[in-house]
Amino acid sequence: MTQPSLDPQTPLIEQIKKLVQDTLLSWGLPGAGLGLTVHFGIQGNWSGAIAALIGTAILTFLLKFFTKLDPRLDALAEWSVSQFEQSILRLWWSATGQFQGKYYQTLIYRLRDFRVQGLKTKGPFSLDLQKVFVPLKVAPESADRIPSALIQTLAQPREEGKLSIWNILAVLPQQPSFRRMVILGPPGSGKSTLLEHLTLSYAQNSRIPRLIPVLLYLRDVQEAIAADPSPTLAALIEQQESLKDLKRSPDWFEVRLKQGKCLVLLDGLDEVADLHRRQQVSRWCDHQMQRYPTTAFILTSRPFGYRSAPLMQVGMVLEIQPFDLKQMQQFIQNWYLQNEIMRRLGKEDAGVRHQAERQSRDLIQRIQDSPAIAAMALNPLLLTMIATIHCYRGALPGRRVELYAEICDVLLGRRQEAKGLPDPLTATQKRSVLQVLALNRMRKASGDFTLLQGSLLIQKKLVAVAGDSVSPEAFLKQVENVSGLLLEKESGKYAFAHKSFQEYLASAQVKESHQEILLARHIDDPWWEETIRLYAAQSDASYLISTALQKGTVAALSLAYDCLEEGLSVEDGRVRKELEDALEKGLAAIDPAIFKLAAEVKLQRRLGKLLRIDDRTEIDQGYISCAEYQLFVDEKRLSGEHYQPPHWIGDRFTPGTANQAIVGVRASDAEAFCDWLTQHSSDLGETYLEGETAVFTGDFRFRLPTLSEVQNHPVALPIGCWCWDGDRIVGGAGVGDRGRDAHRTLAWEGIRIVRCLR
């Protein structure tokens, strides 16, 4: 074969172009074809080798023939060479480089561990993300804006408009309008984890349609996007450190993005801190959606970040929904099982599963027993913290102040540090400022404040810890936008994300400023109950208990018993003994007033410890006692109604049985007791609604449990109780081996209660 030479009569640029074309025709196609032929031959794929050899020879001959036949076909020949060369290169990289498989493996290596950024208390093991992850529910940003195509297309039933992201991705081929989604959610709601789960699922080829996942953290690529000129999405992907050592064709991602074969996941628009830069990134995202119109995009952000830099090309905005009770339980069970498997060096057998189940059951019950903690457990990040602390520090529920401290530290500081986000104040400094705000809101019996009110309240403390470097307004907005500890409930109205955070921070401020007398003045005020408990858990509770004994009200004495149980210490032994005797002696007292006070305290404490079994329902973990039933009997007798059990002698329970379960009541009497308790508790006003918490307001009622509720939540006593079986009340449930249909006397029937939203 002769070497091409340069013609001095032809312009230099044309000679170079001709030289390259001739070289491609002479060596490019035969060389690439020969390489493929050898590769297929080594692998034993003889049909592939023969096809590559014959195809290359035929196309090379045709191209040379056309160019000699008619010079006007030179452009066609040039274009054909280019297209065939690219096809050969792509086939070569696919056959020899195995890039896609290696790319998937890098994603799996990078994302397979379940990570919690900023958590101080960490377990010794890395858990498998896919085995811990609980599918999140999403819903349209506005309930009345569910796309009609979504309603028509999705076959799976929906729960009040809530969907799984997989429901939407499954119908992408039929519904192109779903290709551009934004998913909004508050801090810790699981946005990043959701995208990592999607990426892993596709990398493991476990989902249909089969898409090539591309995950970019916008905070990490914002500098590249801001460059002039800004890169295309394909070019930005190519710049990733993890891809540098992987051989691939130069346009591998560009081709697949244009073909709509990728799922592009863009995480954390809100984490681009500078507003101008965030808007710049938003415009870039819009442009990439236009450049690759058949590619699916999902972008995540906290609401504030998206509102300040919305995308124009987005077809659907979804919101992540908080965990419900079932999701919370599933996460805890998954988390403990994976921890136990790792602790046993990968062994998974009946013993490992039993140990994990025991631990998860304990934590679930502790969460259900505490409405404040149950409210936080709806957030995946906070639930992970709760599970971690429960497992490795044993901090629930008696030392739950440590739980609040841990969560505040993570939300206010360590999570930002772990993500590399700049922050001029430490978590401790920010917490000291918020403590002042929280205590003021407790004093005003309010959870709400305007930005101006909040700024004035914290100004002095903020200057003390930060000087003039941060304005009060900017501080409050930063806490809202970055930590999520504050939220804007409505336009211009702010509050702590959960009342429990306000109560904890207020208790810490009381302790630091030595204002225990303030709590003593509110010892029987329900608004202050949790703050007093949390203060007692950090201090000597003797003075508060002594004050409660002097007050002598149901609310004060009930709170005193809580402080005794949860207090850091009760150094005054006399006070401890006096409180311990008050309840027992009161229940045995002949004086009606003393007895009523003790029985009310007992009933009040029972209602504060009901077991949460779903988002609307709590069940008693024991049986109503004779003393508590006596309250019902005495009050009804005043109106001429008689509900004492037939076996009672007179109008009062047998002496010495005040704490024993009431038995032998008629079904109608048990139902009447529940109706009385509904009215009685509403009059006391001891329940309230707090944010998204399933804490009960006046719109609740007490009822007898259903048969399944009793069977699923048994009590270790050899007696039965009245319960609903369909539309009728039956007796005998809960007697274990005796069996529901076993022959028993009426004396076996007792009362268990359920509190539920109407």
Tokens 């519904």 correspond to 175
Quote the pLDDT of residue 743. 36
Taking residues 426-446, what's their average pLDDT? Answer: 94
Tally Cβ neighbours within 10 Å of residue 352: 16
* φ, ψ for residue 623, nearest 5 deg: -110, 145
Looking at the DSSP assignment, which residues form a beta bridge with residue 138? 163, 320
For residue 609, pLDDT over 60 is answered with yes
Query: Hey, which bits of 402-556 come out as E strands?
Result: 449-450, 486-490, 493-496
Looking at the DSSP assignment, which residues form a beta bridge with residue 733? 721
Per DSSP bridges, beta strands 749-750 and 720-725 are parallel
Higher pLDDT, 139 or 56: 139
Out of 157-166, 239-248, 331-340, which region has the weakest mean confidence (pLDDT)?
A: 157-166
* φ, ψ for residue 569, nearest 5 deg: -160, 155
Using DSSP's 3-state secondary structure scheme, residue 688 falls into coil
Out of 67-71, 117-121, 268-272, 527-531, which region has the weakest mean confidence (pLDDT)?
A: 67-71
Element (H, E) at 237: helix 233-238
* φ, ψ for residue 703, nearest 5 deg: -150, 170
Q: With b meaning 16 or more CB within 10 Å and e meaning fewer, what string describes 604-615?
A: bbbbbebebbeb
Higher pLDDT, 204 or 742: 204
Quote the pLDDT of residue 107. 92
Contact 679, 639 (CB under 8 A): no
The pTM of the full predicted model, rounded to 2 decimals, is 0.67
HSE-CB at 299 with a 13 A cutoff on CA atoms is: 30
Quote the pLDDT of residue 661. 93
Cα 51 from chain centroid (whole Å)? 54
Quote the pLDDT of residue 42. 52
Q: Which two tokens stand for residue 618?
A: 């709590």
Question: Could you tell me which CATH class the domain 135-320 is placed in?
Answer: alpha beta
Out of 382-391, 538-547, 595-604, which region has the weakest mean confidence (pLDDT)?
A: 382-391
Condensed to tens digits (0 to 9), the pLDDT of residues 324-379 reads: 888 999 999 999 999 888 888 888 888 889 988 998 988 888 887 777 788 788 88
For residue 225, pLDDT over 70 is answered with yes
DSSP classification of residue 28: I
For residue 39, pLDDT over 60 is answered with no
Q: Which two tokens stand for residue 19?
A: 């030289």
For residue 724, pLDDT over 90 is answered with yes
Contact 731, 751 (CB under 8 A): no
Percent of the chain with pLDDT over 70: 77
- Using 50, 70 and 90 to split pLDDT, how confident is the model at 695? very low
Rounded distance between C-alpha atoms, residue 260 and residue 254, angstroms: 10
The ranges assigned to domains in the chain are: 12-97, 135-320, 325-399, 610-757
Quote the pLDDT of residue 456. 96
Quote the pLDDT of residue 208. 67
Rounded distance between C-alpha atoms, residue 746 and residue 154, angstroms: 52
Top mean pLDDT of 91-105, 159-173, 426-440, 566-580 is at 426-440
Quote the pLDDT of residue 163. 79
Mean pLDDT of the chain: 81
382: nearest Cα among 357, 399, 363, 403: 403
Rounded distance between C-alpha atoms, residue 296 and residue 298, angstroms: 7
Percent of the chain with pLDDT over 90: 40
Quote the pLDDT of residue 668. 92
* φ, ψ for residue 349, nearest 5 deg: -140, -175
For residue 687, pLDDT over 90 is answered with no
Quote the pLDDT of residue 2. 45
Tokens 């005797």 correspond to 581
Out of 107-116, 500-509, 548-557, which region has the weakest mean confidence (pLDDT)?
A: 107-116
Rounded distance between C-alpha atoms, residue 732 and residue 753, angstroms: 15
Rounded distance between C-alpha atoms, residue 470 and residue 464, angstroms: 11
Q: Which two tokens stand for residue 483?
A: 């930590």
Higher pLDDT, 295 or 123: 295
Cα 745 from chain centroid (whole Å)? 49
Phi-psi region of 557 (alpha: psi -120 to 50; beta: other; left: phi over 0): alpha
For residue 257, pLDDT over 90 is answered with yes
Contact 484, 381 (CB under 8 A): no
Contact 268, 281 (CB under 8 A): no
Contact 613, 619 (CB under 8 A): yes
Top mean pLDDT of 369-383, 514-528, 565-579, 712-726 is at 514-528
Quote the pLDDT of residue 20. 42
Taking residues 683-693, what's their average pLDDT? Answer: 42
HSE-CB at 396 with a 13 A cutoff on CA atoms is: 27
Taking residues 111-131, what's their average pLDDT? Answer: 75
Per DSSP bridges, beta strands 180-184 and 316-320 are parallel
DSSP classification of residue 410: I
632: nearest Cα among 623, 622, 621, 643: 643
691: nearest Cα among 495, 505, 544: 495
Round to the nearest angstrom and report the end-to-end CA distance of the chain. 92
Rounded distance between C-alpha atoms, residue 461 and residue 465, angstroms: 6
Rounded distance between C-alpha atoms, residue 129 and residue 196, angstroms: 9
**CA angle (103, 109, 110) in 5-degree steps:** 90
Q: Which two tokens stand for residue 148?
A: 């009609």
Condensed to tens digits (0 to 9), the pLDDT of residues 445-503 reads: 888 999 999 999 999 999 999 898 889 999 998 888 878 888 887 778 899 988 888 99
Rounded distance between C-alpha atoms, residue 482 and residue 420, angstroms: 13
Rounded distance between C-alpha atoms, residue 196 and residue 217, angstroms: 11
Quote the pLDDT of residue 573. 87
Contact 246, 106 (CB under 8 A): yes
Higher pLDDT, 215 or 562: 215
Residue type, 452: L
Contact 130, 107 (CB under 8 A): no
Contact 677, 702 (CB under 8 A): yes
Contact 41, 52 (CB under 8 A): no
Per DSSP bridges, beta strands 180-184 and 296-301 are parallel
- Using 50, 70 and 90 to split pLDDT, how confident is the model at 738? very low
- Using 50, 70 and 90 to split pLDDT, how confident is the model at 660? very high
Higher pLDDT, 55 or 677: 677
Rounded distance between C-alpha atoms, residue 750 and residue 9, angstroms: 112
Rounded distance between C-alpha atoms, residue 40 and residue 95, angstroms: 9
Quote the pLDDT of residue 432. 96
Higher pLDDT, 267 or 738: 267
User: Who's near 6: CB < 8 A, 6+ residues apart?
Assistant: 12, 15, 19
Element (H, E) at 37: helix 29-42
- Burial zone of 361 (CB within 10 Å; 0-12 exposed, 13-18 middle, 19+ buried): middle
Element (H, E) at 210: none
Quote the pLDDT of residue 274. 86
Higher pLDDT, 616 or 628: 628
DSSP classification of residue 93: I
